[in-house]
Chains A and B, each alone.
Chain A
Amino acid sequence: MVELQYPFDSAYIMKKRRSLRKALLADGSARIKKNIAVLGGSTTNDIVSIMELFLLDQGIEPTFYQSEYAQYWQDAMFPGEELISFKPDIVFIHTTNRNITAFPKVTDSREAVNDLLAGEFDRFRKMWDALSSRFGCPIIQNNFELPLFRLMGNKDSSDYRGRERFITRLNERFYDHADETPNFYINDINYIAASYGLEKWSNPMYWNMYKYALCFEAIPELAFNTANIIKSVFGKNKKALALDLDNTLWGGVVGDDGVEHIQIGQETGVAQSYYEFQSYLKAQRELGVMLTVCSKNDEENAVAGLNHPEGALRPDDFIIIKANWENKDRNIAETAQQLNILPDSIVFVDDNPAERAIVRSQLPGVCAPEMDSVENYIRTLDRSGFFDITTFSDDDLKRNEMYKANAERAAQQAAFENYSDYLLSLEMDAVIDDFTPMYIQRITQLSNKSNQFNVTTKRYTAAEMEAVFESSEYIRLYGKLIDKFGDNGVVSVVIGKKDGVVLNMELWLMSCRVLKRDMEFAMLDTLVDKCREQGIKTIRGYYYPTAKNKMVKELYGTFGFEKISEDDEGNTVWELPVENYEKKCSVIRIHGNEAL
């Protein structure tokens, strides 16, 4: 919904929230349901109702628990029956500098201030530990915004007795904790408040009148920022940018003006702005955001523009370059298909409002932010939070290389007549074995973002995955695939729960980047081996249809399972006796964890 995308009109959202909510709920889109506990140190009602809008817009249908006014600490330490039975999927602790219990006094010694700091941090630390051991779910914790006044003036920032310094130090302690604690995320309200304007944000009237720790009209800013973390945790981040070229990546029209006349580089202010934008995109690429081009141009001109010696980006930085005269929505749909991602994982970046409008209407779910003037491009993309990072794995760092290697494989495939000859030519090696601590983070990440090749779409929090890993009731496999073009990383996860001689499959997923490589058969071969070792006689598979996982409707059928039941909603159950199973994969060499 355009009204809920950055830069949004906060007053409009606040005023029209009821009708916006109605429209979102009536749009018929599929959403995952999540329980969100909001533990507030100040009023949270409106924050929650606006956060709901942003989450609905991002494919999440939340149910909220809110603590009674300012009872965040009590709720975390001594949760009542309501919170316990609520079983949160995520806890959001909305505290602000109004909740700091004691600030230094000017008469305090250095040691006294250190003790105060340790005590304050400890109060929070205890709460996080209690929540994490009770609920085992991700925690989102606000940092602290700067104080509204500076008792010591400028010295407040540097003197150990200054409030500003105290808050800065406390924030540092929070960040250290976040750094070493998986599943613990900082909601950076310090940044958001500064960006909004601290004087307006901290208008004390809202505290004194309504016990809101921020001004009423800033609530959408806070809610949006928090919702971006939540959607990232639950695997709803965008994955790729489809970038226009003329007047988006450089000033001018390369086909008309000629490559020597486009604005990019250090010559003029405008050229510098485009250069900064290209540099920003290059840095995004390093974080694992996939870059593609979607431009109405002759390909020759497009590549010439990207080869401009003063530009920051090179043609090599893009996985796919679509420079032609086709409609852009068609190009984007094709890009999605070639990358094996869903169109709604793509953000379309184009300075032309008409192109944006067409893409939005033809491909609902594709975001096309308002790119009105080059000096705003970075801010608009950055603040939209499309790629808000919660976990950051080695895989993210290598993503662009991996997809590029995929494009090379596709080129090679064309040269083979027989598909299995092609597969053999890839010289594939897989490591398929029980989970290992090194990959747990990636395994959890996959379980939260795989939608298409995923038979049950069961999601696991880090704590839940940890529990599966430590339990002897499960047979677990992860699969990592390497070929002559490169390492694809961990691409498949299979989890089955033992019930006597039956293994009930809870999860079978694979990353779409290794479709049609026979990797799923390699996983099955190994699973059957493990079953035999552990005395399992029957593997029982389950398929639960979603809007996105049709490609695996018959997965168990192609594995040789027999369908034993199907209900009205299309949920199917399958069984395979392991006794006479014969290996199905002959194109991948399979190794165990010892090969790592």
Chain B
Amino acid sequence: MSEEEIYERLNDVFRDVFDDDTIEVDDLTTADDIDDWDSLEHINLIAAVEKEFGIKFRMGEVSTMKDVGEMVEIIMSRI
């Protein structure tokens, strides 16, 4: 799966979870850029991303991911 494809699929997950079709994520997107992305929604997002790519994040990773770019790096290393 190319990085581009990952971003594309990730974007769909974000749109589903936050129910907002205008979302466009890139490597620098953080929780500050999306209104409803708070610590509670973070769990939901992580679960949906894990499901989409058939991977599991490790405990430490979930809380230390800084931005979407880091998330994509982890995804790429697992698939």
Contacts and interface: CB of A to CB of B under 8 A. Distances in A.
Nearest to A208: B59
A17 B40 CA distance: 14
Contact of A46 (B19, B44, B59, B62): B44
A11 B48 contact: yes
Contacts of B18: 18
Given A11-B51, A14-B48, A210 B16 contact: no
A542 to B, nearest CB: 42
B44 A14 contact: yes
A156 B18 CA distance: 45
Contacts of A209: 43, 59, 62-63
A18 B21 CA distance: 12
Contact of A210 (B17, B19, B43, B48): B43
A14 B59 contact: no
A19 B51 contact: no
Contacts of B19: 16, 18-19, 22
Contact of A16 (B16, B43, B47, B62): B16
B72 interface: no
B61 to A, nearest CB: 11
A15 interface: yes
Interface in B27-59: 40, 43-44, 47-48, 51, 59
B63 A217 contact: no
Contacts of A46: 40, 43-44
A45 interface: yes
A216 interface: yes
B52 to A, nearest CB: 9
A487 B62 CA distance: 63
Contacts of A212: 43
Contacts of B68: none
A371 to B, nearest CB: 27
A428 B68 CA distance: 75
A205 interface: yes
Contacts of B62: 209
Contacts of A11: 47-48, 51
Given A15-B16, A209-B62, A216 B51 contact: no
A443 to B, nearest CB: 43
A67 to B, nearest CB: 16
A46 B47 CA distance: 12
A34 B66 CA distance: 41
Nearest to B46: A216
A15 B51 contact: yes
B74 interface: no
A489 to B, nearest CB: 48
Nearest to B63: A209
A517 B18 CA distance: 56
Most buried by A among B13, B18, B43: B43
Contacts of B48: 11, 14-15
Given A22-B19, A209-B59, A209-B63, A15 B13 contact: yes
Contacts of B17: 15, 18
B51 A45 contact: no
Contacts of A22: 19
A14 B51 CA distance: 11
A11 B17 CA distance: 11
A205 B44 CA distance: 14
A14 B40 contact: no
Interface string B1-33: 000000000000100111100000000000000
A18 B13 CA distance: 13
A205 B59 contact: yes
Most buried by A among B13, B16, B18: B16
B47 A217 contact: yes
16 contacts: A11-B47, A11-B48, A14-B47, A15-B13, A15-B16, A15-B47, A15-B48, A16-B19, A18-B17, A19-B16, A19-B19, A46-B44, A205-B59, A209-B63, A212-B43, A216-B44
Given A209-B59, A216-B43, A216-B44, 13 more contacts: A11-B48, A15-B17, A15-B48, A18-B18, A19-B16, A45-B40, A46-B40, A46-B44, A205-B59, A208-B59, A209-B63, A212-B43, A217-B47
Q: Which 7 residue pairs spanning A and B have beta carbons closest together?
A: A18-B19, A15-B48, A11-B51, A216-B47, A19-B19, A15-B16, A45-B40
